A and B are shown apart, each in its own frame.
Chain A
Amino acid sequence: MAQQAGETEFTLDTAAELASDEPASTIRGRSPWYLAWHRLRRNYVAFAFLVLFVVVLAACALAPVYASQVAHSGPNANHVLETVKVNGHEVSVVSAGGYIDKKTGKPCTVSGTGCELFSAIPIGPTWFSAGGKFVLGADANGRDVAVRLLYGGRSSLVVGIGSTAICVFFAVILALLSGYFGGWIDFVITRFFDLFYAFPVVLLGIALGSALAINGFHHFGINIESGSLWIPTLVISYVLVPYVGRPLRGQVLSLREKEFVEAAISQGASPMRVMFSELLPNITSSLLVFFTLIIANNIVLEAALSFLGAGVQPPTASWGTLIADGQNLIVTRPWLALAPGIAIVLTVLSLNVFGDGLRDALDPRAKIKIEH
Chain B
Amino acid sequence: MATFLVRRSIGAILVCIAVTFVVFLIFIVVPGGDPAQRIAGKNATPQNIINIRHSWGFDQPFYTQYWVMLKKMFGGNLVSYTSQQNVLTQIVQGMPATFSLTIGASIIWLFFGILVGVLSAITAGRLSDRVITVLALIGISMPVFWLGIITRYYLAEGGLVTWFPDGEYVGITQSPVQWLSHMILPWLVLAVLFIGFYGRVLRGNILDTINEDYVRTAKSKGLTPRRILVKHVLRTSLIPIVTLFGLDFAAVLGGGAILTETVFDLHGVGQYAELSINNFDLPPIMGVTMYGAFFIVVFSMIVDLFYAYLDPRIRPT
Contacts and interface: CB of A to CB of B under 8 A. Distances in A.
Contact of A308 (B149, B210, B262): B262
B277 A310 contact: yes
Contacts of A60: none
B258 A203 contact: yes
Contact of B142 (A194, A204, A345, A372): A345
A89 interface: no
Given A5-B133, A103-B158, A199 B289 contact: yes
Contacts of B50: none
A8 B125 CA distance: 6
A340 B150 CA distance: 12
B256 A202 contact: yes
B150 A341 contact: yes
- Which of A6, A198, A352 has its CB near the most chain B CB atoms (within 10 A)? A198
Contact of B211 (A9, A210, A341, A348): A9
Interface string B121-147: 000111001100110011011111111
Interface in A205-247: 206-208, 210-219
Contact of A211 (B133, B282, B300): B282
A17 interface: no
Interface residues of A, number: 67
B76 interface: no
Contacts of B18: 191, 195
A2 interface: yes
B174 interface: no
A208 to B, nearest CB: 6
Given A207-B289, A308-B259, A344-B146, A199 B296 contact: yes
B300 A307 contact: no
B6 to A, nearest CB: 18
Contacts of A331: 153, 157, 159
Contacts of A88: none
A203 B38 contact: no
Contacts of B273: 203, 206
Which of B129, B216, B270, B277 is most buried by chain A, counting CB atoms within 10 A of its CB?
B277
The size bracket of the interface on B is 35 or more
Given A203-B255, A207-B27, A349 B138 contact: yes
A2 B130 contact: yes
A5 B125 contact: yes
Interface stretch (B28-36, B57-65, B82-90, B109-117): B28-36
A117 interface: no
Contacts, number: 196
Contacts of A203: 254-256, 258, 270, 273, 288-289, 292
B30 A200 contact: no
A158 B162 CA distance: 39
Interface string A299-330: 01001100111100000000010010011001
Q: Is the interface of A mostly helix, strand, loop or mixed?
A: helix
Contacts of A197: 247, 296, 300
A11 B254 contact: no
Contact of A13 (B133, B143, B211, B258): B211
A353 B140 CA distance: 11
A138 interface: no
B215 to A, nearest CB: 8
A330 B19 CA distance: 39
A288 interface: no
A167 B210 CA distance: 34
Contact of A206 (B124, B140, B213, B285): B285
B172 to A, nearest CB: 24
Nearest to A353: B137
Given A308-B274, A334-B153, A337-B146, A212 B130 contact: no
A18 to B, nearest CB: 15
Given A9-B211, A308-B274, A323 B146 contact: yes
Interface in B261-314: 262-263, 270, 273-274, 277-278, 280, 282, 285-286, 288-289, 292-293, 296-297, 300
Nearest to B248: A200
A200 B292 contact: yes
A89 to B, nearest CB: 27
A330 B38 CA distance: 33
Given A199-B296, A207-B289, A217-B30, A1 B137 contact: yes
A341 B143 contact: yes
A156 B8 CA distance: 41
Most chain-A Cβ atoms within 10 A of its Cβ — which of B22, B126, B145? Answer: B145
B15 interface: yes
Interface in B239-258: 247, 251-252, 254-256, 258
Given A215-B33, A217-B31, 6 more contacts: A13-B211, A102-B158, A200-B256, A202-B258, A308-B277, A365-B211
Interface of B: 15, 18-19, 22-23, 26-27, 30-34, 38, 124-126, 129-130, 133-134, 137-138, 140-147, 149-150, 153, 157-159, 162, 207, 210-211, 213, 216, 247, 251-252, 254-256, 258-259, 262-263, 270, 273-274, 277-278, 280, 282, 285-286, 288-289, 292-293, 296-297, 300
The 4 A-B pairs of least Cβ separation, nearest first, read A215-B33, A200-B256, A103-B158, A218-B32
5 contacts: A5-B130, A198-B293, A210-B285, A330-B153, A337-B150
